[in-house]
Amino acid sequence: MHICVMGTGYVGLVSGACFAEFGMQVTCCDIIPEKIENLKEGILPIHEPGLQELVDKGLREGRLNFTTDEAKAIEQALTIFIAVGTPAGENGATDMRYVDDVADTIGRYMRDYKVIATKSTVPVGTAKRIRARIEAAQPEPVDFSVISNPEFLREGAAIEDFMRPNRVVIGGEDQHALAIMKELYSPLYLIETPFVITDTTTAEMIKYAANTFLAMKISFINEIANLCDVVDADVHDVARAIGLDQRIGRKFLHPGPGYGGSCFPKDVQSLTHFAQEAGVNLQLATAAHEVNQQQRGRMVEKITGMLGGSVAGKTIGVLGLSFKPNTDDIREAPALEII
C-alpha cells in the first residue's frame, strides 16, 4: 500500500520510517526544500534512538522517499497522514494554520478516493474541520474519508512505541476507511496489540486525556516532593511505594523541575482552552499546569539555597538542556527557564 505523510517533523518522520519498516511504500512530504534534500541523503533534523538506522534502511530498500512535490505525493497515495505541527497559539488555543494548509492542499490535488488520517494532536472537532476545508478546496467533488489516528510516541523511545505500542487508537465512521487503517497496522495484530476503534471525536479526546493525565502525575509527585523537603521525608521512597500499587503505576512519578517538550505543556493548555469554550472548567488540568510552572521557580530556590542564599558572583555549570534524556528537543525545556 502506498501512503503519504504530510510533514517531516518528529511525528511524521518517525511514523513514515516505521510504516516503511512495516513494508509500506511511504512518501514523506514537506515544503522546506533543504530539509527534504538532507533527508534524501539520510541527514536527520532530529535525534531519536534507532531512527537513523530505520531511515537508512528505508532509503536503501526503496520503501521510503522524500519529496516537496505535494501533488505527486497525494496522487500516488491511498492513505494520507497529516503530521504537521500544531503549536500553542494565544491563550492556550491550538494554532491550526498548518493543518488547515495541508487540508487545503489535499483538496486541491486529490483526484480519486483517499483516506485522510490525522496524527497531529488537534482539538476535538478537527476531523469535521478538515472535511469542510478539503471539500471547499476541491475543484470538483471527490469522495474521501477522514480518520483520527493519534500518536502516543515518547521522545527517546518513539521507535519502540510505534513498533510495540500499548494500544492503537483509530477513530472513524466509515467502515471501508477503518478496514484500510487496520491493514496498515496489520503487523501489530501479530503481537496482539490492543486496538481501540471509535469515532473521530472520541479518538481526538483520547489523546488529550492521556497526555493531561500523565502531566498531572508529574505535577502531583512534584508537589509531594516539595512537602517531603519540608517534613524531611524521602520522596523517592514515597514514589516507589505508591508506584508499586498497580492502580497507580510507577511511571511518571519522578520528582524534578517539571514537564516540558512539545506535547505536555501545549496539550494541557489546549485541553483547558477548548474545554472552556465548551463551557467546562477543568480544574485538575489547570492546576497541573500551574504547579508545573511553579516548580521551575522552586528549582531556582533550591539552587540559590545550595549556593548560600545568592547566585551573585557564582559560576554555575549546566549539564543538559533538553527536556528529557535521549532527545535533543529543548522546546519548553525547564532548564532554559531556570537558567
pLDDT tens digits for range 243-301: 999 999 999 999 999 999 888 999 999 999 999 999 999 999 999 999 999 999 999 99
Q: What's the pLDDT band for 19 if we cut at 50, 70, 90?
A: very high
Nearest to 295 by CA among 323, 337, 257: 257
Domains of the chain by residue range: 2-198, 207-337
E-strand ranges in the chain read 2-6, 25-29, 64-67, 79-82, 114-118, 144-148, 168-171, 195-198
Please determine, for residue 26, whether its predicted confidence score (pLDDT) is greater than 80: yes
Q: Give the bridge partners for 198, in sequence order.
A: 171
The verdict on whether residue 184 carries a ligand-binding annotation is no
Rounded to two decimals, the pTM is 0.90
- Chain segment 125-149, per-residue pLDDT in tens: 999 999 999 999 999 999 999 999 9
The answer to whether domain 2-198 and domain 207-337 are alike in fold is yes
> Does domain 2-198 sit in CATH 3.30.450.20?
no
What is the largest distance, in Å, between two alpha-carbon atoms of the chain?
A: 71
Query: Within 10 Å of residue 264's Cβ, how many Cβ atoms?
Result: 23
207 within 8 A of 171, measured Cβ to Cβ: no
The verdict on whether residue 154 carries a ligand-binding annotation is yes
The verdict on whether residue 72 carries a ligand-binding annotation is no
- Tell me what the mean pLDDT of segment 185-192 comes to: 93
Q: How far apart are the first and last CA of the chain?
A: 48
Catalytic residues: 263
**Domain covering 207-337 in this structure, CATH number:** 3.40.50.720
- pLDDT value of residue 220: 98
